[in-house]
C-alpha cells in the first residue's frame, strides 16, 4: 500500500456511496478505528445505513459530522481500481457513486458468508454401534469434513443417525472455510500444437504478457484461425508468472464451449462472472479476484470492475461486438474501458476479432496498438465460399422467404447428411401485424414501435419495453374477424416454412426468447455441435463464436436487413455480422459455403464479403469516416431527454441545446453557432430531434447529437452544457452517451 496510515484520532473520511451522486460524503472517524482509502465502511445516510468505500482521509476540519459506524470485513478496493473508477466516471459523465456500485455491489449484496460446518471423527468409539452407525463412520472420508446431510446421503442413513453419533462423542462438528470460488489452472496442462503462424503470434503475445507494461495488441484472424488457442498461450505465460487474467466475452452465459476448451488446455474451468450467477456465487468470485485465488476470470463486461489483486493480462474476445456497450445506467464501452484499465494496471490487453472495429483497426494502423494477423484457418481448412442470391431474379414465392436456389441448396445438403443454418436476425413470428380490412396496425401502448407477433407464445410483444398482449381474433379497430395479417418474417415463421420444405430434416429453431433460458440454449448449442440437428434456424445468437464442426451451409435470409437503419456504423456492423455468420460454415473436415439473399448485391458491404477483399472494405469505410469526421476521426455524444409530457420534453431539450451553444470563456472549445456550418475546430450541436423510437416505456424522447473534433474535450463541453442547462426533475431526465453505438 502506498497510502499513509490514517491518523487514529478525529480524522475525516471522504466516503463514496453507491448512489447516483458524484461527490464523496465526509464522516468523522471514531477514535480507535483504523481506516485506509479503499476500506469498506458502514455509514448513516439520512435515516438509513448504507455501505460506502473510503475514497480519501483528511485531517479534521471542525464542524459536526456524522460518524462512520463500522469498518466492514471486505477486501479493500485497490488504489488502481479506485483510480479506474474515477476515470470511468469522468469519461462517461456518470455519477461516481453509480460507477462504484458496479464495482462493489457484488461484495456486499449477498451478506455475510454462511458458516459451513463439517463433521470429523473424534477417534472415540460410539457407545452403541448399530449397523447404520457403522456405515456412517465408514463413509467418513479421512481428509474431508462433509456436512451432516452429505454424510447421511453418502452412507445411506437418516440424519438422526449422524446426530446420535455426535451426541455420543464419536463425531464432532468443525467450522470450515468458505467454499472455493475458483480452481487452480495449470499453465502446462495440455499445450496445443500450434501452426507456424499461430506459434509466431503466440510468441508476440507471450512476450507482451511478460513485460509488465501497458501494451494493447490487436489479434486479427479469420474465423476459425484459432485465435483462442493463440491467446491461451499468453494466458499460460501470465499464470506461470503468478499474474491474474481477465477474459471478456460478449455472451459469456452461452459459452460452454469456451469453458470446455479452457478446461482442456488448463485442466480446470475458469471462474465465471455474469449476471446469471447467484449473489452468493458473485460475492465469492469477487473475493477470489481480490485475494488472487481466482487466477483467470472469464466474464461479461462488468467483470472489468472486479478488484483484481495482480491483473497482468486482459483479453477482449470478439472486440468488435456491440454487446460490449452497456446502454443503461453507467453507459460505457467495455472494450474501450478494458484498454483504460490495462493502462492503469500497466499490463497487456489483447483485442481479438475476425472483423475488428474501424476504431481498433485504425489504432493498429497508426501504431498505437500492436497488430498480429492470422491469415488462414487452422489445419489447412478452407474459408467458406460466399455467394449472393439476387432476389430481383430469384425472389421467393409470395408470403415465403426462402428463394428457390436456397431451397435447392438446403435440400442437397440434407441429402448429403450435412448440417445447414438459416440465419435471420429477427425474433418472433412476424415484425408487424395489421388488419387487411381497415389497416389498423398493432403498436405498443408505451413505445413507438410495432408489436412483434410471437406465435409460439401466442402473444404480441414489444421488443423495447416487454409489453405483452394476446393476439385477438377480431380487429380491435373495425371489429372484423379473420382480417389480421402477419407481415414480414421472423425466425419462427422461417422455421415454419423450412419445416414444410424439408419435412424429414431434424430441425431446431433457436432464439433467446424461447422458454428454458440459458440452460436450454446451452444444451441446444451443444446438440448442434454434436450433429443432432440437420437444419438450424436462428438469430445472431447462433451466429457468433460457436464451433459447429458439421455445419457446411449457411443461408442468410436477409443480408440487407441492417444496411439502411441510419446508424453511422450500419455498414461496418453488417459486414461484421455476415462475416461471423458465414464463418460458422466449414469449420470441420468438410468445406463450407454461405449463400446471401440480397436485393442489392452491388452494395459495397456485400461486394467486400463476396470478393473477400476486406482490405478494400476497411480502406473505404475508414475513408468515409475520416471525411465525415466520425469516430475515430472525431467524437460523438448522444444526449437523450425523456419525459412523460411530449411538449415539456421538447421544451427542455431545446433549452439544453441553447445552453450547449452558449459561448464559453477560456473553455478550450468553440461551438458552431446554431444553423451554421461548423468550422474545423468547432463542436457542433445537432437537434433536438424526436428520437427514431420516439417513445419508450411511456416516455417521450428527444435527441441531441454532439459532434466534436478528435482533440476536443467533449466531456468538459458536456459538463458545461449540463451545468448551464435546465435541471432534470423526477420526470424529465437527461441521459448522456459518450461515443454512442446506438442512435435510436
Ligand atoms: N493449434 C491448434 N490445435 C488444435 N486445434 C486447433 C488449433 N488451432 C485451432 N484449433 C481448432 O480450430 C477451431 C477454430 O479455432 P478458434 O475457435 O480458436 O478460432 P477463432 O479464430 O476464435 O474463430 P472465430 O473468430 O470464428 O470464433 C477450434 O475447434 C479449435 O479447437
Ligand atoms: Zn413497448
What distance in Å separates the CA atoms of residue 521 and residue 85, rounded to the nearest whole number?
34
Residue ID of nearest Cα to ligand 1 atom 14: 224
545 touches ligand 1 (CB under 6 Å): yes
What distance in Å separates the CA atoms of residue 218 and residue 234, rounded to the nearest whole number?
13
Please compute, for residue 583, the number of CA atoms within 13 A of its CA located in the half-sphere on the CB side.
Answer: 26
- Render pLDDT for 562-621 as a digit per residue (tens, 0 to 9): 887 778 888 999 999 999 899 899 988 899 999 999 999 999 999 999 998 889 999 999
- Render pLDDT for 46-101 as a digit per residue (tens, 0 to 9): 899 999 999 999 887 777 889 999 999 999 999 999 999 999 999 999 999 999 99
Residue ID of nearest Cα to ligand 1 atom 16: 226
What distance in Å separates the CA atoms of residue 153 and residue 499, rounded to the nearest whole number?
47
Output the nine-digit C-alpha cell for 658: 441553447
Q: Give the ligand whose atoms come closest to the C-alpha of residue 442.
A: 2
Q: Which residue has the cell 446438440?
A: 527
Beta strand 296-299 pairing with 271-273: parallel
Answer yes or no: is pLDDT of 248 > 50.
yes
Residue ID of nearest Cα to ligand 1 atom 10: 226
308 touches ligand 1 (CB under 6 Å): no
Per-position DSSP letters for 19-41, written without gaps between them = SS-SS-EEEEPPTT----TT-EE
pLDDT level of residue 169 (50, 70, 90 thresholds) = confident
DSSP SS3 for 380: helix
Weakest mean pLDDT among 165-179, 499-513, 643-657: 165-179
Residue of 118, 129, 131, 132 lying closest to 171 (CA atoms) = 118
Choosing from 218, 261, 372, 378 the residue with most ligand 1 atoms within 8 A of its CB, the one to mutate for a pocket test is 378
229 touches ligand 1 (CB under 6 Å): yes
Answer yes or no: is pLDDT of 672 > 90.
no
Residue of 371, 487, 387, 389 lying closest to 429 (CA atoms) = 487
Answer yes or no: is pLDDT of 10 > 70.
no
CATH 3.40.1440.60 fits 12-109, yes or no: yes
Beta strand 459-461 pairing with 452-454: antiparallel
Of all residues in the chain, what percent carry a pLDDT higher than 90?
65
Q: Measure 444 CA to ligand 2 centroid, in angstroms.
A: 5
In terms of Cβ atoms closer than 10 Å to its own Cβ (0-12, 13-18, 19+), residue 9 is exposed
CATH 3.20.20.80 fits 196-379, yes or no: no
pLDDT level of residue 382 (50, 70, 90 thresholds) = confident
Beta strand 484-487 pairing with 432-435: antiparallel
Distances (CA, A) of 131 to 141, 156, 167, 676: 18, 11, 17, 94
Choosing from 192, 203, 226 the residue with most ligand 1 atoms within 8 A of its CB, the one to mutate for a pocket test is 226
Paired strand residues for 196: none
Residue ID of nearest Cα to ligand 1 atom 7: 226
- Render pLDDT for 254-267 as a digit per residue (tens, 0 to 9): 677 889 899 999 99
Asked whether the CA dihedral 388, 390, 396, 399 is positive or negative, the reply is positive
For residue 688, whether the previous peptide bond is cis, meaning omega lies within 30 degrees of 0, is: yes
Of all residues in the chain, what percent carry a pLDDT higher than 70?
98
- Cα-atom radius of gyration of the chain, to the nearest Å? 29
DSSP SS3 for 518: helix
Which CATH number describes the domain made up of 386-426+493-624? Answer: 3.40.50.300
DSSP state of 326: E
The pLDDT value recorded for residue 373 is 95
Q: Which residue has the cell 481480490?
A: 290
192 touches ligand 1 (CB under 6 Å): yes
Q: Which atom of ligand 1 is nearest to the CA of 545?
A: 27
226 touches ligand 1 (CB under 6 Å): yes
Q: Give the ligand whose atoms come closest to the C-alpha of residue 466.
A: 2
How far does the chain reach from its first CA to its final CA, in angstroms?
A: 45
Longest distance between any two alpha carbons in the chain, whole Å = 97
pLDDT level of residue 3 (50, 70, 90 thresholds) = very low
The pLDDT value recorded for residue 538 is 92
DSSP SS3 for 100: helix
- Render pLDDT for 399-409 as a digit per residue (tens, 0 to 9): 899 999 999 99
Residue of 109, 523, 519, 525 lying closest to 276 (CA atoms) = 519
Q: Measure 542 CA to ligand 2 centroid, in angstroms.
A: 26
Same topology between domain 196-379 and domain 386-426+493-624: yes
The pLDDT value recorded for residue 618 is 93
pLDDT level of residue 18 (50, 70, 90 thresholds) = very high
Q: Give the ligand whose atoms come closest to the C-alpha of residue 447.
A: 2
Which CATH number describes the domain made up of 126-176? Answer: 1.10.10
What distance in Å separates the CA atoms of residue 658 and residue 654, rounded to the nearest whole number?
6
Binding residues for Zn(2+): 435, 438, 444, 447, 462, 465, 475, 478
Average pLDDT over residues 8-17: 82
Give Cα 283 to chain centroid, integer Å. Answer: 19
Q: Which residue has the cell 455509514?
A: 43
DSSP SS3 for 487: strand
The pLDDT value recorded for residue 2 is 42
Beta strand 634-643 pairing with 419-423: unpaired
The pLDDT value recorded for residue 128 is 81
Output the nine-digit C-alpha cell for 222: 479469420
The pLDDT value recorded for residue 1 is 41
Q: Which residue has the cell 451432516?
A: 148
What distance in Å separates the CA atoms of residue 332 and residue 508, rounded to the nearest whole number?
35
Paired strand residues for 733: 642
Please report, for the chain, the start and end positions of each structural domain, with discontinuous segments joined by +: 12-109, 126-176, 196-379, 386-426+493-624, 430-488, 634-738
Residue ID of nearest Cα to ligand 1 atom 24: 223
pLDDT level of residue 205 (50, 70, 90 thresholds) = very high
DSSP SS3 for 239: helix
In the predicted model, what is the mean pLDDT of the chain?
90
The pLDDT value recorded for residue 543 is 80
Q: Give the ligand whose atoms come closest to the C-alpha of residue 450.
A: 2
Output the nine-digit C-alpha cell for 156: 445411506
Answer yes or no: is pLDDT of 676 > 80.
no
Q: Which residues contact 278 (CB under 8 A, 6 or more apart)?
A: 110
Answer yes or no: is pLDDT of 457 > 70.
yes
Which CATH number describes the domain made up of 634-738? Answer: 3.30.70.600
Amino acid at each position: 500500500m502506498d497510502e499513509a496510515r490514517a491518523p487514529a484520532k478525529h480524522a475525516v473520511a471522504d466516503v463514496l456511496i453507491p448512489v447516483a451522486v458524484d461527490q464523496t460524503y465526509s464522516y468523522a472517524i471514531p477514535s480507535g478505528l483504523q481506516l485506509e482509502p479503499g476500506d469498506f465502511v458502514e455509514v448513516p445516510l439520512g435515516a438509513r445505513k448504507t455501505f460506502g468505500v473510503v475514497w480519501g482521509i483528511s485531517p479534521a476540519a471542525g464542524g459536526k459530522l456524522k460518524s462512520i459506524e463500522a469498518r466492514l470485513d471486505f477486501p479493500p478496493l485497490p488504489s488502481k481500481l479506485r483510480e479506474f473508477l474515477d476515470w470511468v466516471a469522468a469519461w462517461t459523465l456518470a455519477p461516481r457513486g453509480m460507477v462504484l456500485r458496479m464495482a462493489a455491489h457484488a461484495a456486499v449484496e449477498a451478506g455475510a458468508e454462511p458458516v459451513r460446518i463439517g463433521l470429523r471423527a473424534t477417534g472415540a468409539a460410539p457407545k452403541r454401534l448399530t449397523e447404520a452407525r457403522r456405515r456412517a463412520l465408514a463413509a467418513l472420508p479421512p481428509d474431508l469434513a462433509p456436512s451432516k446431510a452429505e454424510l447421511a446421503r453418502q452412507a445411506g442413513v437418516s440424519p438422526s443417525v449422524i446426530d446420535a453419533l455426535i451426541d455420543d462423542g464419536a463425531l464432532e462438528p468443525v467450522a470450515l472455510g468458505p467454499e472455493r470460488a475458483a480452481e487452480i489452472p495449470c499453465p502446462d496442462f495440455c499445450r496445443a500444437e500450434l501452426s507456424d503462424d499461430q506459434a509466431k503470434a503466440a510468441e508476440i503475445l507471450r512476450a507482451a504478457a511478460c513485460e509488465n507494461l501497458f501494451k494493447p495488441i490487436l489479434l486479427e484472424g479469420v474465423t476459425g484461425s484459432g485465435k483462442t488457442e493463440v491467446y491461451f498461450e499468453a494466458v499460460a505465460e501470465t499464470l506461470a508468472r503468478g499474474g491474474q487474467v481477465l477474459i471478456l466475452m460478449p455472451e459469456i452465459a452461452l459459452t460452454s464451449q469456451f469453458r470446455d476448451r479452457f478446461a482442456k488446455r488448463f485442466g480446470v474451468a475458469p471462474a465465471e462472472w455474469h449476471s446469471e450467477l447467484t449473489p452468493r456465487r458473485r460475492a465469492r468470485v469477487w473475493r477470489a479476484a481480490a485475494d488472487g485465488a481466482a487466477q483467470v476470470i472469464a466474464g461479461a463486461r462488468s467483470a472489468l470492475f472486479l478488484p483484481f489483486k495482480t491483473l497482468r493480462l486482459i483479453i477482449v474476445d470478439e472486440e468488435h461486438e456491440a454487446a460490449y456497450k452497456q446502454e443503461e445506467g453507467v453507459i460505457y464501452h467495455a472494450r474501450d474501458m478494458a484498454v483504460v484499465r490495462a493502462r492503469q494496471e500497466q499490463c497487456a490487453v489483447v483485442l481479438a476479432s475476425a472483423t475488428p472495429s474501424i476504431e481498433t483497426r485504425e489504432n493498429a494502423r497508426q501504431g498505437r496498438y500492436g497488430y498480429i494477423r492470422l491469415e488462414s484457418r487452422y489445419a489447412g481448412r478452407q474459408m467458406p465460399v460466399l455467394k449472393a442470391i439476387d432476389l430481383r431474379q430469384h425472389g421467393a414465392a409470395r408470403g415465403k422467404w426462402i428463394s428457390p436456389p436456397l431451397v435447392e441448396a438446403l435440400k442437397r445438403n440434407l441429402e448429403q447428411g450435412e448440417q445447414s443454418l438459416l440465419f435471420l436476425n429477427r425474433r418472433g413470428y412476424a415484425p408487424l401485424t395489421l388488419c387487411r380490412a381497415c389497416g389498423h396496425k398493432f403498436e405498443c401502448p408505451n413505445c413507438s414501435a410495432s408489436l412483434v407477433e410471437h406465435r409460439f407464445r401466442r402473444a404480441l410483444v414489444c421488443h423495447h419495453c416487454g409489453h405483452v398482449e394476446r393476439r385477438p381474433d377480431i380487429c380491435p379497430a373495425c371489429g372484423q374477424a379473420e382480417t389480421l395479417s402477419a407481415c414480414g418474417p421472423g425466425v419462427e415463421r422461417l422455421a415454419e416454412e423450412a419445416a414444410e420444405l424439408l419435412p424429414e430434416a431434424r430441425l431446431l429453431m433457436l432464439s433467446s426468447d424461447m422458454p428454458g433460458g440459458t440452460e436450454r440454449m446451452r444444451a441446444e448449442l451443444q446438440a448442434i455441435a454434436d450433429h443432432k440437428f440437420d437444419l438450424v434456424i436462428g438469430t445472431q445468437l447462433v451466429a457468433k463464436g460457436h464451433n459447429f464442426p458439421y455445419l457446411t451451409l449457411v443461408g442468410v435470409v436477409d443480408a440487407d436487413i441492417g444496411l439502411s437503419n441510419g446508424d453511422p456504423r450500419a455498414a461496418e456492423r453488417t459486414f461484421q455480422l455476415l462475416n461471423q455468420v458465414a464463418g460458422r460454415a466449414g469449420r470441420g473436415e468438410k468445406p463450407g459455403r454461405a449463400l446471401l439473399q440480397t436485393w442489392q448485391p452491388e452494395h459495397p458491404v456485400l461486394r467486400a464479403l463476396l470478393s473477400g477483399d476486406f482490405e478494400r472494405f476497411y480502406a473505404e469505410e475508414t475513408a468515409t469516416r475520416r471525411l465525415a469526421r466520425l469516430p475515430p476521426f472525431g467524437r460523438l455524444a448522444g444526449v437523450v431527454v425523456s419525459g412523460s409530457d411530449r411538449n415539456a420534453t421538447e421544451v427542455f431539450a431545446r433549452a439544453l441545446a441553447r445552453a450547449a451553444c452558449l459561448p464559453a470563456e477560456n473553455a478550450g472549445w468553440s461551438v458552431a453557432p446554431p444553423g451554421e456550418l461548423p468550422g474545423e475546430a468547432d463542436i457542433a450541436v445537432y437537434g433536438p430531434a424526436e428520437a427514431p423510437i420516439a417513445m419508450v416505456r411511456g416516455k417521450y424522447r428527444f435527441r441531441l447529437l454532439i459532434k466534436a473534433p478528435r482533440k476536443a474535450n467533449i466531456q468538459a463541453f458536456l459538463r458545461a452544457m449540463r451545468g448551464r442547462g435546465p435541471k432534470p426533475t423526477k420526470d424529465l431526465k437527461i441521459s448522456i452517451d459518450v461515443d454512442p453505438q446506438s442512435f435510436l
